[in-house]
Structure 1
């Protein structure tokens, strides 16, 4: 958590003063036209001046913006819940990278299309008959993109199959991933994030979040190859080409670890590792969910003593369902969305996004079907026109995504006005309490912990917030903060968030004190 020692209030004009001044108390050279101005735009009093909100915003916001690094892009909008007039509108029509605030749009569309009680159901199915403990036919494992499915849950399904008397499968083991189609990686995802677990491809087949961990040990002698240890229950192959360096080696400054993914979950680790007494823990994203889930399920069947006479095969084309022999249900959608929003879970967001497309169009879920479905659902069920918004995924990971603060404000206003049935705002991180807002320096300094419920959004150079603040007098204000192109000189990198903390401290303190 970063704290500023700079007085963020003294010497600066407040955007939302708590003075209770009427319009007539503020001298205006054109008083006879005052009624016209009231119709054209809302009037507010700032210290001893009467200013229209549309013309007065620029100067105060620039005072906030002065805390941000030079060249930073800023777009802001704030509006009372239920009002059609912004209290603050600074570049509200400017396109910006939403980052993870896009999850708010995904969550709303999911609730409207799927319903809060929707569950992902993974099944073991067959059209064959069981005779003398032999299942005569193929066993199909139908995966539908459950982002929370675990190895233990697969094991439980195998146990149910075993308890039904099956000891042998006279056929193939089919891994059905027809719920989704096309690529498992969305357009515009950063290539060097692909092997990190937070951007594990949201495939139809997911087990333990499609993430595995290894330990990297430095060699005893500098120059030798570091070695990897990986638990045997991970069906992956990991190879080391990592060079061990002596402590203090000048080579270590620029020789970095890197991982090169190959076919069928084969990974090669390259680069350098300085000698160390303890292993370096690492985690990587599975690139082929089908082969990973298939290998795990096959192993669980073998452990249970169930023989398979055929082969392990991928089933990518939709087929008629067979008789369900065992199944696993995820938690209700509302519970999943709460985790998604609180923890900014990309896996949940993107599997839900593709599922929206699958359910809405009754076709295998793709990135394009998800995008078109969200657009249609919001238009039909919330009267929200996304216009020229670009939405290529559900998580906000893609740098192709674009949305205006004004459009996001429409989404927030709908959420607030229908929160009784949606129960949405409670799913957002609460400043100072949980999720990605548990520790947010600017909000902490502003004294608004417990008063702000908002979704964060962060990419390289991007610091966004979209949500609600409850003011000192109990009003609820919706707001969107889009910051991009945020960069500091290399020498200031360790304290790179300090300008952000100063900016947010001033802005949200003034929003909290708004009393009009």
Structure 2
């Protein structure tokens, strides 16, 4: 048996060349060396020039896709919403503007724009000032669904206070996330929690710092108390400041409190109150509008940064557009399934629950993901998405990913990552000079934390190197390259 202590291309080739089965089954031999023994894996690779499948193993097995799910969202959003789609936040009035006054109520309709910021909202009211409006004789109604489902089924409960799992709502401001810092106090194990004083949230803090790392068990605990109040307790090892990004729990309340602050700091006098409503006004005219960037730019951010809020906000928009009703996780997922099926993707046994891949209920196979990638590569509607994929060692979630920022993979892998606890997936393309464009999917579920810590390189990196090494005639002795993942 050949055992590899240091992973180099030469070491791999020595093992294969010394084996009598080299010519018979290159990948079988290689996978026996590099496949993680305690994980569930699925592989698919296809030469896009010859249209020949290079390898498929467990390609029909359903596994957790994690953020590779966003490939489906990108294709479905492009097909259903179109490149001109934007999220629009609008201010309405039933009454004309006279003498710098709006006589009656004003309506601010939120659209679920995942990129809307406090500054954008201040800009809306600045536009009102520029129109000469100095007074609103009525209430300001914030229009949105305050009762909608904010998290998809299958989201991990202890992720819900973290910003990558921020609530998906028609009311979104600053990604429904607040940022702060936990600092150790001098001559004490106590801590100081600091957030911007103007933020309409409240924190109770009893956390301590284990400065000498003497505690056997030292973990922070964040409890969501409702009404955007939080309790931070527990222990943090070390003595360095800790940056915190906390997802708000009540987006409608956060929007209401934020707009009260914006109105108070503007030059416009509101005689009434800021109120919430689920009903859009009838016979009202749009006064001013804020638009997000167009869909391609949203998808670029979503794929490069693996932005969950953009993905699930778009999912709800897909459902709204497709079924002509208020968007939700349920109708968005169903719409995405039908749109992709119509485009030729066989999702018969798949389970789609959200657009981001956060749900532990999602199930996709490597072959299904390969069909989505095939659409991106061959269908003119979706070809632009390839340019939005992270590029190994250059951009997005592959810029600093271990072993993708060095030879032989750097600059040649365009792919969507998919990572969560126990999951490490990759789906995309190898595009390299003098090498046929190759589509690939690598799914690894049930990853051992210990193996992840001790692994020489990610399984996906090892497999992609094997694709670069592979010759159809298995004439490995003629390989003149020496690039190695262990340099």
Distance (whole Å) between structure 2 residues aligned to residue 365 and residue 332 of structure 1: 19
Change (3 A) 1:163 1:391: same
- State the Cα distance separating 1:95 from its structure 2 match: 0.4
TM-score by length of 1: 0.83
Distance (whole Å) between structure 1 residues aligned to residue 236 and residue 402 of structure 2: 34
- State the Cα distance separating 1:304 from its structure 2 match: 1.1
Give the corresponding residue for 2:42: 75
Give the corresponding residue for 1:438: 399
Residue-by-residue CA offset, 1:270-310 (whole Å, 9 max, x unaligned): 1135684x643322111222221222222112211322232
Q: Map of 1:128-147 to 2, 5 A cutoff?
A: 128-147=95-114
Q: Map of 1:64-143 to 2, 5 A cutoff?
A: 64=31, 66-81=33-48, 85-143=52-110
Change (3 A) 1:82 1:394: farther
- State the Cα distance separating 1:182 from its structure 2 match: 2.6
Change (3 A) 1:361 1:514: same
Residue-by-residue CA offset, 1:137-194 (whole Å, 9 max, x unaligned): 222111111111111111110101122222222222211114x963111111111111
Residue-by-residue CA offset, 1:238-293 (whole Å, 9 max, x unaligned): 12122455x33633x423222111222111111135684x6433221112222212
Change (3 A) 1:126 1:67: same
Give the corresponding residue for 2:468: 512
Change (3 A) 1:153 1:109: same
Distance (whole Å) between structure 1 residues aligned to residue 183 and residue 432 of structure 2: 53
Out of 121-130 and 468-477, give the one that drifted further. 468-477
Change (3 A) 1:123 1:481: same
Out of 260-269 and 427-436, give the one that drifted further. 260-269
Give the corresponding residue for 1:262: 225
Out of 262-271 and 349-358, give the one that drifted further. 262-271
Distance (whole Å) between structure 1 residues aligned to residue 323 and residue 381 of structure 2: 28
Secondary structure at 1:11's aligned position in 2? helix
Q: Does 1:10 align with 2:16?
A: no
Q: Does 1:166 align with 2:118?
A: no
Give the corresponding residue for 1:36: none
Change (3 A) 1:250 1:281: same
Give the corresponding residue for 2:172: 206
The alignment's C-alpha RMSD in Å is 2.6
- State the Cα distance separating 1:421 from its structure 2 match: 5.8
Distance (whole Å) between structure 2 residues aligned to residue 321 and residue 383 of structure 1: 43
Residue-by-residue CA offset, 1:422-469 (whole Å, 9 max, x unaligned): 411111111121111112334345502221111000011111011111
8 Å contact from structure 1 (residues 353, 394) kept in 2: yes
- State the Cα distance separating 1:92 from its structure 2 match: 0.5
Give the corresponding residue for 2:242: 280
Q: Map of 1:58-69 to 2, 5 A cutoff?
A: 60-61=27-28, 63-64=30-31, 66-69=33-36
- State the Cα distance separating 1:11 from its structure 2 match: 3.0
8 Å contact from structure 2 (residues 425, 443) kept in 1: yes
Give the corresponding residue for 1:298: 260
Gaps of 5+ in 1: 15-45, 50-55
Q: Does 1:235 align with 2:197?
A: no
Given candidates 157, 160, 163, the residue that maps to 1:194 is 160
Residue-by-residue CA offset, 1:71-92 (whole Å, 9 max, x unaligned): 1111001112276652101000
8 Å contact from structure 1 (residues 69, 488) kept in 2: no
Residue-by-residue CA offset, 1:200-245 (whole Å, 9 max, x unaligned): 112112112121112223344546x533222122111112122455
Secondary structure at 1:10's aligned position in 2? helix
Q: Does 1:378 align with 2:340?
A: yes
Distance (whole Å) between structure 2 residues aligned to residue 464 and residue 403 of structure 1: 12
Out of 306-315 and 72-81, give the one that drifted further. 306-315
**What is the count of residue pairs matched by the alignment?**
464
Residue-by-residue CA offset, 1:19-64 (whole Å, 9 max, x unaligned): xxxxxxxxxxxxxxxxxxxxxxxxxxx8544xxxxxx5xx734632
8 Å contact from structure 2 (residues 212, 238) kept in 1: no
Secondary structure at 1:232's aligned position in 2? coil
Distance (whole Å) between structure 2 residues aligned to residue 48 and residue 275 of structure 1: 54
Distance (whole Å) between structure 2 residues aligned to residue 164 and residue 144 of structure 1: 23
Out of 430-439 and 468-477, give the one that drifted further. 468-477
Gaps of 5+ in 2: 473-487
